[in-house]
Structure 1
């Protein structure tokens, strides 16, 4: 079976920036946008131009700087929003307006004080008006996760009729379970006239920790695009994490899916976004957390040293990390200690390793992690320092040596 390409729509610069305290200036946004294009994302949502002069300027500058990716600008189903988005996109090689309106009963009744019929009219008009500025119009049915499927299908069918090229099905509040979200996508694929002529997109939030799972359920049920952010940043608990959905697709070939993402740039992209936004990446964050490829348990360390795949389903090199990390702690065993000394150019025989290990454990019980400098000190404590002047390369830069020193 031929593999199906899933388009990656990155909204780090729009939805991701909506995190409190996460404010990017135009220069930073352009820098991140260029990195996203190098990463291989298909669509960059550059901002919400009507929200502020700064956002308008950022969208324009990104349009001038990007040549391959589609540049998308968000708007509400409001003429002024759509017009400003269209003007902001005038320098884009491949512009897209992303317009829409809430479709759930919560939004219709409490947010708009309206009726389903009027919401449908506004949805149709927004798409028709956006088509005056660009050919590529994406429609979002906000809070689709809590929208009744029959009404959602009616909205989708009508906006397709009037020119929508992409339809976004947001689980805006992170409400859905994966099975529910997948069934919603499947219902639309089976019941909306013209659905096969447009791109159906997922946009899932992480309020219940299910954003990536819901996005995966969506693509398995027929969606062709995933909207996501670097490091999973975004409103409240965040959005689908780009690195997670991309690596799930990459690692599971039986899904018969692929993306155009250059996964070797994931780590550096994650670092750039974290640096610019000031949003630190959680240490145990999948794929990009500092502990994602680190091992401190003796059993895990021994397995990884023997064969990496015993405790890692992902090769760290695939996401731009040189190698796994063996972290020496009180839970580390002899194999890990010998491995770390070996990386530093010191090869311990069995007797020396036993002696060093007993001293190591005393240090490890008092510290969270043993450094390379402390490994040198442990050799001295064990009186294995006859060659100690030759191992001064054990230093704070953590560099490995290609000199072999046998400790007997």
Structure 2
């Protein structure tokens, strides 16, 4: 880039961890999940949530299965305090759910926090102070020892108020801006915090390692987490938690690699809401695990409801390409994609093995509350298979494969003309206009058929160039007999190249649909479609349709 002086930006130093183990590990189970939508997500909103929105989002989080929810910063504002009291006073916190509150290491704030927590059976007090080099130097002008003392003073105050609290209190400590902190100092302050708390088998501590600002590649974060895991005292009683932001666009990868490196817990938000580029998206993380056969412990079987509620309470739109939940993520416009998906869905339905094997779809849309009908959509980039898929899935027309290019061209021409995606109803109308609403130089009127010793005989009535004609013919089947009857006066020689048929609609009202492909010296291939309650009549109508399309 122009005008950036040398040395303005520097590469993040690598971690000295030559025997790192995380690259050989595999995620085999879900972490403990903690939603921070109501705190971290809320503080990043243009219009912070009011009481009703907070309650609606809290109810959604419970429905999704979250057992740890950071409900706010009750010492920071009246709405945060009142919301927590509403949850307690109205008995809205299930017994198996732990609410979490954030607080700084100041006595009046901690006192107010415990006042808000009165009556809560299980709560995590999330204590934090910034430890990074830049924050110590630029913001606080404090030494490492002063930063440690600030954290320890906070722990002492939490213990002081814990003693009078009628319920279980857990401690979480975050060396905020962890990714900008020297690892030795991060370990030192974390160990002094856990020791002061009195860590034990029945008194575990959450040490949260936030990528408050994402500063390096995900592998660096994984190295930091593994290094910390090795240097935290009484590791078996430390719950290592991650809290990644998305400044570099890799919060998902950073979190997944951190789980490989030994992290036990994940803090994040739904749809990645949060400061700047957002927090890590728990929906994506959880569904990534689902696609690997891991039970996430969260229920995202109706992502449409999740998106609807989150958009409502945050007043933020969801990108149409957002993983798993965006409007277009289960949609294919590309012709080759459409063809592969169409074949994959047919293959999936035909086989007994439930293993999901559909090209371009890493998860079954039905598992997250989406429908197959929205997978293939049509624009000027779409292919022939996509049009056939829409006509079959939405309207029951099972077009023969050889016919796909013909109808595909007609639909693509309309999309080019309109310059936009076509709706299924518009595609159906193109199909009808191409095969049913056509100009006729020859029109079918009536037919009577008999059969004798394998030979079909017919009396065919049709209108040709304004004159009604009745002609007899015979052949090895009804269509052949009608063709032979027709050719006595019809002056375009042709052969029937292919034929197929199927029923369309419910059994009680099903119509027969027939497709006939004809060929002549002038026309290599032209399809006709016919529909009727009688399959033979449908076939004859299809032949007349093909003639009108080929020779009009």
How much has 1:304 moved relative to structure 2? 0.8
1:370 correspondence with 2:422? yes
Residue 338 of structure 1 corresponds to which residue in structure 2? 388
Contact 1:24-1:277 within 8 A present in 2 as well: yes
Question: Hey, what's the Cα distance between the residues in 1 that align with 2:399 and 2:142?
Answer: 79
How much has 1:98 moved relative to structure 2? 0.8
3-state SS of the aligned residue for 1:75? Answer: strand
How much has 1:157 moved relative to structure 2? 0.6
Contact 2:100-2:124 within 8 A present in 1 as well: yes
Residue 28 of structure 1 corresponds to which residue in structure 2? 53
Residue 389 of structure 1 corresponds to which residue in structure 2? none
Question: Hey, what's the Cα distance between the residues in 1 that align with 2:27 and 2:394?
Answer: 47
3-state SS of the aligned residue for 1:283? Answer: coil
Contact 2:387-2:427 within 8 A present in 1 as well: no
1:161 correspondence with 2:195? yes
Contact 1:13-1:45 within 8 A present in 2 as well: yes
Residue 390 of structure 1 corresponds to which residue in structure 2? none
* 1:213-255 alpha-carbon deviations (Å, 9 max, x no partner): 11111111111001110000100000100111112222235xx
User: After the TM superposition, which of the residue ranges 88-97 and 190-199 deviates more from structure 2?
Assistant: 88-97
Go from structure 1 to structure 2 and tell me whether the alpha carbon gap of 1:145 and 1:316 turns closer, same or farther (over 3 Å shift): same
Unaligned stretches of 5+ residues in structure 1: 387-399
* 1:84-142 alpha-carbon deviations (Å, 9 max, x no partner): 22222224332111111001111122222211101101111212222333521111110
Question: Hey, what's the Cα distance between the residues in 2 that align with 1:385 and 1:129?
Answer: 82
3-state SS of the aligned residue for 1:166? Answer: strand
Looking at CA atoms only, which structure, 1 or 2, has the larger radius of gyration? 2
* 1:52-100 alpha-carbon deviations (Å, 9 max, x no partner): 1111111222343121321111111222222222222224332111111
Equivalent runs, 1:225-240 vs 2, <5 Å: 225-240=265-280
* 1:125-164 alpha-carbon deviations (Å, 9 max, x no partner): 2122223335211111100011000000001111111227
Contact 2:388-2:399 within 8 A present in 1 as well: no
Contact 1:344-1:401 within 8 A present in 2 as well: no
Question: Hey, what's the Cα distance between the residues in 2 that align with 1:404 and 1:117?
Answer: 82
How much has 1:176 moved relative to structure 2? 2.9
Question: Hey, what's the Cα distance between the residues in 2 that align with 1:266 and 1:130?
Answer: 38
Contact 1:346-1:404 within 8 A present in 2 as well: no
How much has 1:5 moved relative to structure 2? 4.0
Equivalent runs, 1:4-403 vs 2, <5 Å: 4-63=29-88, 64-67=91-94, 68-131=96-159, 132-133=161-162, 135-163=169-197, 165-253=205-293, 258-308=295-345, 309-323=358-372, 325-347=375-397, 349-350=399-400, 353=404, 355-365=406-416, 366-385=418-437
How much has 1:354 moved relative to structure 2? 5.0
How much has 1:266 moved relative to structure 2? 4.0
3-state SS of the aligned residue for 1:97? Answer: strand
How much has 1:187 moved relative to structure 2? 1.0
How much has 1:348 moved relative to structure 2? 5.0
3-state SS of the aligned residue for 2:216? Answer: coil
Contact 1:3-1:258 within 8 A present in 2 as well: no
3-state SS of the aligned residue for 2:342? Answer: helix
- What's the RMSD between the two structures over aligned residues? 2.3
Question: Hey, what's the Cα distance between the residues in 1 that align with 2:399 and 2:134?
Answer: 70
Contact 1:82-1:97 within 8 A present in 2 as well: no
How much has 1:195 moved relative to structure 2? 2.4
Question: Hey, what's the Cα distance between the residues in 1 that align with 2:246 and 2:317?
Answer: 17
* 1:273-299 alpha-carbon deviations (Å, 9 max, x no partner): 112211100111111111111111111
Question: Hey, what's the Cα distance between the residues in 2 that align with 1:337 and 1:23?
Answer: 45
| Higher RCO (C-alpha 8 Å, min separation 6) | 1
Go from structure 1 to structure 2 and tell me whether the alpha carbon gap of 1:327 and 1:39 turns closer, same or farther (over 3 Å shift): same
Residue 393 of structure 1 corresponds to which residue in structure 2? none
How much has 1:3 moved relative to structure 2? 4.6
Contact 2:45-2:314 within 8 A present in 1 as well: no
Contact 2:396-2:505 within 8 A present in 1 as well: no
Go from structure 1 to structure 2 and tell me whether the alpha carbon gap of 1:92 and 1:367 turns closer, same or farther (over 3 Å shift): farther
Question: Hey, what's the Cα distance between the residues in 2 that align with 1:5 and 1:372?
Answer: 40
How much has 1:263 moved relative to structure 2? 2.8
3-state SS of the aligned residue for 2:412? Answer: helix
3-state SS of the aligned residue for 1:83? Answer: helix
- Runs of 4 or more above 3 Å deviation: 1-5, 348-356, 400-405
3-state SS of the aligned residue for 2:210? Answer: strand
Question: Hey, what's the Cα distance between the residues in 2 that align with 1:268 and 1:88?
Answer: 31
Question: Hey, what's the Cα distance between the residues in 2 that align with 1:135 and 1:227?
Answer: 19
* 1:26-70 alpha-carbon deviations (Å, 9 max, x no partner): 111111111111111121111111221111111222343121321
How much has 1:383 moved relative to structure 2? 4.2
